[in-house]
Each structure stands twice: as structure tokens, then as C-alpha cells.
Structure 1
Amino acid sequence: MSTRSRNMPRPVRPWRRAMAVAAVLAATGTVLAAAPQPAQAALPPQTIADPVHYWNDVLLEVIRREGGGPGPMSRSAAMLNLAMYDAESSYQLKWKGKITSEPYIHAEKYAGWLEGPDEEERVIGRTAYNVLLGLYPGQTQYLDARFRERFGSEPTGFDLLDATVVSKMVTQMRDARNGDRSDNDQVYVGDNKPGSWRPTSYPDMADPGCSRDSQAVSPFWGQVKPFALTSGSQFRPPTPGLYGTYEKLLASDEYKRQVEAVRSAGADKPTTRTPVINRTADQEAAAWFWANDEDGTYKPPGQLLQATREVATQRRLNTYENARLFALVATAMADAGIAVRDVKFLTPIDLWRPVSAIREGGLDPEWKPLLKTRAGVNVTPCFPAWASGHATFGAAWAGVMKRYFGSDNIAFTMTTDDPQSPVKSRSFTSFSQAAREDADSRIWLGVHFPWDAEDGLALGDRIANHVYTTKLRRL
């Protein structure tokens, strides 16, 4: 990720001297307190008051447009929100005299005599725009339009803040993530044993996007450098290691109980061998509410970022508080995405999905999971079951939220992006309740076993505790 040359100061005659100053600052890092500020037009009317909320809203739309796996999305969210947090910390340090929590990388007490108009907004927004531009160059037209919507000006226009603080915030985040192994395109090769994950290419469930091992989504994301953890395996759940081999796993009584639990709760429709579905109407509604599996939705990390905004608005957080909350949430979810991929692909057991266990285990050759595409084709995610990503993301989010607000028992309402959900909002009395339902929803959709949910919840909360106690700490 890098700041485009088109965003660097351009010759504007009345500010030629200011631009020369900016160039010196950018090239040498010299702090020059006398650097003049250019005049800024008033911001146009805003429908989203807080800049942190605005740029996360922009990110969610980019996710809908780009599609893909939740790991890269959560990485982008962390880079965006941590850069915005350090930019906001820089503004607080410069004009409010202090910061109340640690920066993630560095807060810059940048040059300037007097605070410029809308300076907090400009520091955050110009940082966010450039981070997103580096991550999603294919969305340039959309990002430019959202910049103009926010500022009423072109992103190519001169702003001295680019040289004094914005470029530093963007560059330090780019440098921190260079070489983090997120570009690993190594191809996955399955274990090809009973119990091991395989594409679900049954004739009545044909998925052209998941017909070969090599199409497994983000198989080596567990090796990506985390944002707060020491490694993706730092909090690896013990369960896979308890069995060690597929043969021992499939022979265990617990495995048989797990298969039966999802067989009855997660079936799409009754069959001759599975005549009863043990799932209530509300559980089915919850299953679809939390899904967000298809491209075109904001996916699981996006749903939780949206919930963060809804809670933050309800609690009336200011911009600095929002920046810290979103940075903590995004960091925990980014590391959750890494850690859960470690469990799925880098442990001895790459566990097959329930449909494979039920069909190939000889229990019911007609069984299908509830999860299906908008076209009505039953599908299952193209990666191993153990552990649940939804559960891990949900617990990481809930763990940060309850620690940030000092209480788990906060009532809130959140929304969904899934077009097949029969309801568009659900209300909860605690963050943990929401995370629990998120985890269980994957069993009701027929794509996870109960222990996938349990291990994901435990993993996510341990990540949240580590992030909250080691990053962005109160001073």
C-alpha cells in the first residue's frame, strides 16, 4: 500500500511557497512550526457525522464490491482503523496536548501554528482514503467519489496535512504490513482421507467455485503475521491434538455425537433417513441473519463492524473514543481471521464439513445443509470445518466490546446484509449472547459441528483479551 503520486501536493499559485515547505517536510522529516495552512472550504452537509464511522461505511461497500474471504477483509479493516487511530492520536497530541491511550505504531506531533478548519476530519479522512486506495486500487473511482462526497473537493487537491502527518500515518502502516505473508499463493493439497476436508462436488450440490482442493479459500492465511498475537498458533485450541489422526477422531464416541447433532439441527429438508429437523423457526431465522456468506454482502467481519457502529452511536462516543474502539475491534478480528485459519489448515486435522461426514459416512446420502445460494443451490464453505470462523470472529468482537465498555450486559440491536434473512435486525441483551448465537447459527445452517463453535468462541475470547491488554492501552 502506498500514497499515490496523484495525491501529493500539486502547484497551486497562491500556495507555491506552502508547497515548497511541504516538499521539504516530506523529504526530510523536518518539523517547521511556521508552515502555513491553506484555506479550506467548509465541509458539505454530512449524513454520517463521525469520520471513523464514515470511512468504515466506505470499507463495507468496498467489501461488498470486492468479495473474497474474511481473512483479507479483516486485515484491511485493521489497517484502516489502526491508521485512522494513529492519525487521530496525532491530532489529539498536537491540538489537545495529550493522548489518553497508546498509539499502535506512532503518534506524530506534527507542524503547525494554528489548528486549521475541520482539521480532525481532514487528518482522519485523508489517511483513510489513502490506506483504502493502496489496498483496493481497483476501487479508485468509488473511493474518489466518497472522498468528494465527504469533503466537497478532489482528493488530488493540495493539503499541507498530507506532508506533515497524513503521509507518515499511511507510510508507517504500509511498512508495518509489508512482507506479512498475506500474498502467499501456495496451493492447498488435501489429506484425502476419511474425515479430511474435501470440496463438496456432489451432483446435487455442484459448486464450480469449490470443485478442487486448490480452490480452498485462504489455506495459508494462518501464517500471516498477526497485528497483536505473536503467531497464528499462539492460542491454538487443544482439541485437534487430542485425536491426532483422522482414524482416532472418526472412531470416537464424541465425533459420532457431533455428527448427529448437526444432522438433525442443520438439515435443509427432511429425508427418508433424517425425517425430523430439530430446529425452531427462530433458530432458522438466526441462521440466515448471521450468514453473510455470499459475495455482495459485507461478510462476517463487516457485520460486526456495523454492529460496533450501532453500539458506539447508542453510547454517544466521540471521535477519539470511536477511533480506539474500532481499532481494537478490527485488530482482534484480523488476528482472529489468522488464528482460525491456523486451526483449520495447519493442525493435524483438516476436518471435513458435516455434509461430507453425513453422506460419506453412510448416514444419509440425500442430506443437504440449510445453507444455499440465492439461486437455491445448497452449498458449504470451501475450507475445513474446525474451528468456526463465525464463532471466532464473534467472540473476538464480543470480547473487545465487553472489555472496552466495562460490562457485557449492554442491550443493543444490530443488522444483517444477508438477502435471504427473513429479518433485518435482531436485539441482544449482551455482547456474549450475540457471539453465542453467531456461533450456533453455523450449526443451524448445517455447515459446522458443535465443537467448531465451542473452540471458536474460546479462541476468539482469548484473542480479544490479548489484544485489549497489550495494544492501545490506557495511559
Structure 2
Amino acid sequence: MPENVRTTRTRSTIWRRTLAAGVVLAATGSILAASPQRAEAALPTQSIADPVHYWNDVLQGVFRQVQGGPVPMARAAAMMNGAIYDAESSYQAKWKGQMTSAAYIHAAPYAGWVEGPDEEERVIGRTAYNILLNLYGVNRPNKNAPDFTPYLDKRFKERFGTEPTSGDLLDITIVSGMVNQMMNARAGDGSEDNSSYSGESPRPGAWRATSYPDMVDSKCASDGNAVNPVWGQVKPFSLSSGSQFRPTTLAQFGTYEDLVASPEYKAQVAAVRNAGAAAPTAATPVINRTADQYNAAWFWANDNDGTYKPPGHMIQATREVSKARGLSTYANAKLFALVSIALADTGIAVRDAKFSTTIDLWRPVSAIREGGLDPQWKPLLKNNDGVNVNPCFPAYVSGHASFGAAWAGIMKRYFNTDNIAYDLTTDDPQAPVKTRHFTSFSAAAKEDADSRIWLGVHFPWDATDGLILGDKVAAQVFSTKLRTL
């Protein structure tokens, strides 16, 4: 079997089973046609009916267990959903007679005379499983990272009732091709560069680790703890580079000195100081944040390990809208691929803005405390231990805002309208309200962006420019990838 597709059976064993099932072989030994071997008697787990939804649920399960930043997670989602979409497109071309949208990499009819039992389910599931195995399981590139093979095997068996190593003819005819072409496309994309950050602190305005004596954050104890500082150079899925849509608001100031002396900057600090404080202080006695804004702040948070982080939240939102709209499996494969590709490229573009520009902007707590405004001020955001913290990377631009706008940008273009009513949920354990209602995709993205100000970890321009960046990425992805045929 190809090295990227997992099986414990040898090729000869599978071929003997195939011959017994009546497969016709050419003289060279290549498969001409086959009645695919059924790999399961039934699908035991049907609480999540659609296979695209199911395997994205599996992915979110990994997100909740893995530690690290959201950008590698978005890349993983794009790889899995891109491969699922090409595999599903191949199935559509083979058995349904046509593909309605272009493949991401490549899709083609595969060998076989008669469609096998649950074949669409098997094509999608076995492709998704093997992509995840290469990212997070036994074939993961970083052997020091946790091995999620037992979890992936468990979820596979829950779905199919068999072990993933049992083998399936579809592994040969289609799955291996879909897995290998995605893994090959992303090989050497720069994602394995683990270079650490060396910033420009203690210059006023420059980002620095925000672990103060009363806000001890072991995960951000020094500037070198900055998360994914070189991911702005990772090869995108659709953009020409991470800098293609680089925001320019901070560039107009040129230097940190000009930035912190400007009235625009001072207005930004004042806005987040009054809206994002954890509690009143002697110097900041009034917090201008409503109860609903407080609820929204935590609804969108998903910053801490144990949650599915912002990419997972956007995948969950896609699933909730998709389920309410009754999309088919083929339609879901396309929608989830578009959303995931947009999230991955947005994450790369955000890291470019944070780390590869003239100014690596410090967080509001640094501006307020070290700017001499309020030495007791803390952001509302807390970690799982109840300590007030900040994400461990520069503020500009907001990743949440950018991810939300990328999601909304794909959704409104896919459905050809922005005005759809729907409910979204969150898995942040600190969120007082777990479900919120929206009447447009843009409204959800805007609230996601504003929530970062209410949590006290971003300035307003981080949110505003993040919304613009995310929508530009979405427009690029939607106009160039998976286009309707």
C-alpha cells in the first residue's frame, strides 16, 4: 500500500481478496474494473449523518486535545477538507456522471464497474482518516508531538464498525491518490519551521510577553514563547503569499515612537481600556461593557487549550448552518473545503501582519500598564487556571476577527446572500451563554471581532483591519478555487 495510507495487510493479501471477489485484471496487473470490497456490515454511528460533518467532528476532537496556536489547526482543516472534496468529486465523477465544481488539486473517475455498499461514505472516511493520521497520528512529522492514532482509530471504528487496518479496495483505487496528492502538495511548505521570535521589546509599542507578577502566564513567560512567529512565510493554499493583502494602518506611523505619540493610538488605548477591563481599578473606575457584550466576549473566546480554538469554532459554525440548510454531502464537501482553505490562508496572512511588518504591536495591557495609565489594569480574558492572560503574539491584526470575516466571506458568497438567520454555539467552558442567534454572516463576524476588544486583548483597529483582511482572503479563495463548472 502507498506509505501515506495505513493498513496492516500486505498488497498481495488485498489482491487475493480482490481476485476472489471477481476483479478483472489487465496483463500488467493494474485494475481495470472491480466490485469494491465492502469494509463493514453497517455504519454503527449515525448520530452525525453526513460523513463530512462526522470527520470534521473528529478533527475538532483533535483540536481540543492538541496544544498550540490556531494557524496550524487551520492548515490541517484545509488539508483534510481539501482531500475530502477531491475524493468526493472523484466519487461524483465516477458514479453520478459529473462534477459540478472544479477539483482543488485533482479528481477523476476510478476503477470499478458497480458502486459498492456505502461507497461515498467509505471514500470520504478513509481519505479523512489517512490525512489525519499523517498530520496527528503515527505518520505525524513531529514525533515529539502527541500521537493521536488511538483516538483516530477509535473514531474510525465508531463510524465503520471495523478497524482502519482491515483494508479496502478503495484504498488502492482512489483513497491513496487523494491522500498522497495532498501530502505531496503541502510537503516543504514551511510549516515545520520552529524558529523562535526575537522581538524589539522593551521599546514602547513593541510586543513583549505579558506575564506580569499578578498575571503569571507560564506559556508566555518570555518573548521567545511567541506562538508560530514564522508562519507568515508558510506557502498559502490560494494566495500568492502571506503578504498579498497585508494591512497598512500601522505602516503609516513608520516607527514605534511615532505610533505611541499619535492621537490615533491614544484613542485606541482609551477605547479598549474602558471596554475590556477585567474589573474596575482606582485608575479605571468605570467599565463600559454591557452584559450582552460580556456574554459575547466569552462566546467567541476559545483561546485556551481544551477548546477547538477559532478555526474549530468556524468549522462548527459551518456545520450548524449547513445542517439547518439541509446541504447534500457533495455540497458540504465543497463548502467545508472553501471555508477551511480560507481559514488556512487567513491564518498565514494574519501571522504575516503580526510578525513580518515594521511594527509588532504590543497588547493593550502593556500599553495601559507600561504607558503609565493604570498599573493594576488586567484584560478580561483568563486561562483555565483563572489567571488573566493574553494570547502570546502581537496584537495587530486580530486573528479572531480575520477568521470570522474569512468564514463570513465564504458563507455569503456560497449562499449568494449575507442575510440568513441561524444559531451558533460555542464550547468555551467560561461562556455564560452557549448559543447566540444571528441574522447575517457579517453580523457574526463583526461580533467576533468586537469580542476581542471586550475581552481586553485587542485594539479596535486590530478588529477592523482583521475584518477587511479576512474578507479579502475569502474573495480570493472563492473566485479562484473550486469554481463552478
- Shorter-chain TM-score above 0.5: yes
Aligned to 1:407: 417
Map residues 324-339 of structure 1 onto 2, 5 A cutoff. 324-339=334-349
Which residue among 4, 20, 28 is the counterpart of 1:2? Answer: 4
* 1:153 match: secondary structure: coil
Which residue among 247, 250, 253 is the counterpart of 2:263? Answer: 253
Aligned to 2:218: 208
- Displacement, 1:211? 1.0
Aligned residues: 472
Give distance in 1, aligned partners of 2:16 and 2:70.
47
Q: Which structure 1 segments of 5+ residues have no match? A: none
- Displacement, 1:418? 0.6
The reply on whether 1:159 has 2:168 as its aligned counterpart is yes
Pair 268,120 (structure 1): closer, same or farther in 2 beyond 3 Å:
same
Give distance in 1, aligned partners of 2:14 and 2:62.
32
* 1:156 match: secondary structure: helix
Instruction: Choose 296-305 or 366-375, whichever is displaced more.
Output: 366-375
Give distance in 2, aligned partners of 1:52 and 1:164.
20
Map residues 407-426 of structure 1 onto 2, 5 A cutoff. 407-426=417-436
The reply on whether 1:168 has 2:167 as its aligned counterpart is no
TM-score (norm 2): 0.94
Give distance in 1, aligned partners of 2:24 and 2:398.
49
The reply on whether 1:143 has 2:152 as its aligned counterpart is yes
Aligned to 1:34: 33
Aligned to 1:127: 127
Q: Which structure 2 segments of 5+ residues have no match? A: 138-146
CA contact (8 A) 2:242 2:345 kept: yes
Counterpart residue identity of residue 390, structure 1: H
Aligned to 2:96: 96
Give distance in 2, aligned partners of 1:249 and 1:434.
31
- Displacement, 1:11? 2.2
The reply on whether 1:320 has 2:330 as its aligned counterpart is yes
Give distance in 1, aligned partners of 2:231 and 2:331.
31
Give distance in 1, aligned partners of 2:71 and 2:399.
9
The reply on whether 1:308 has 2:318 as its aligned counterpart is yes
Map residues 23-102 of structure 1 onto 2, 5 A cutoff. 32-40=31-39, 41-102=41-102
The reply on whether 1:241 has 2:251 as its aligned counterpart is yes
Aligned to 1:381: 391
Give distance in 1, aligned partners of 2:215 and 2:95.
59
Map residues 182-197 of structure 1 onto 2, 5 A cutoff. 182-192=191-201, 193-197=203-207
* 2:335 match: secondary structure: helix
Counterpart residue identity of residue 365, structure 1: P
Aligned to 2:140: none
Kindly provide the CA deviation profile for residues 145-198 of structure 1, in whole angstroms up to 9, marking residues without a partner as x: 111111111111121100000000000000000000001111110112110000
Give identity over the alignment, percent. Answer: 67
Counterpart residue identity of residue 200, structure 2: D
TM-score (norm 1): 0.96
CA contact (8 A) 2:211 2:389 kept: no
CA contact (8 A) 2:7 2:164 kept: no
Structure with higher helix content: 1
- Displacement, 1:15? 1.1
- Displacement, 1:201? 1.9
Pair 164,187 (structure 1): closer, same or farther in 2 beyond 3 Å:
same
- Displacement, 1:67? 2.3
Give distance in 2, aligned partners of 1:247 and 1:173.
46
* 2:423 match: secondary structure: strand
- Displacement, 1:274? 0.4
- Displacement, 1:45? 4.8
Counterpart residue identity of residue 112, structure 1: G
Give distance in 1, aligned partners of 2:213 and 2:31.
69
Kindly provide the CA deviation profile for residues 121-145 of structure 1, in whole angstroms up to 9, marking residues without a partner as x: 0000000000001100111111111
CA contact (8 A) 2:418 2:440 kept: yes
In angstroms, what is the RMSD of aligned CA positions? 1.9
- Displacement, 1:369? 0.4
CA contact (8 A) 1:353 1:448 kept: yes
Pair 355,20 (structure 1): closer, same or farther in 2 beyond 3 Å:
farther
Give distance in 1, aligned partners of 2:336 and 2:20.
34
Which residue among 404, 407, 427 is the counterpart of 1:397? Answer: 407
CA contact (8 A) 2:234 2:348 kept: yes
Pair 299,310 (structure 1): closer, same or farther in 2 beyond 3 Å:
same
Runs of 4+ in 1 over 4 A off after TM superposition: 7-10, 18-25
The reply on whether 1:357 has 2:367 as its aligned counterpart is yes
Aligned to 2:144: none
Give distance in 1, aligned partners of 2:283 and 2:204.
21
The reply on whether 1:471 has 2:481 as its aligned counterpart is yes
- Displacement, 1:2? 2.5
Instruction: Choose 398-407 or 34-43, whichever is displaced more.
Output: 34-43
The reply on whether 1:367 has 2:366 as its aligned counterpart is no
Kindly provide the CA deviation profile for residues 249-277 of structure 1, in whole angstroms up to 9, marking residues without a partner as x: 11110000000000000001111110100
Give distance in 2, aligned partners of 1:48 and 1:341.
34
Give distance in 1, aligned partners of 2:325 and 2:353.
35
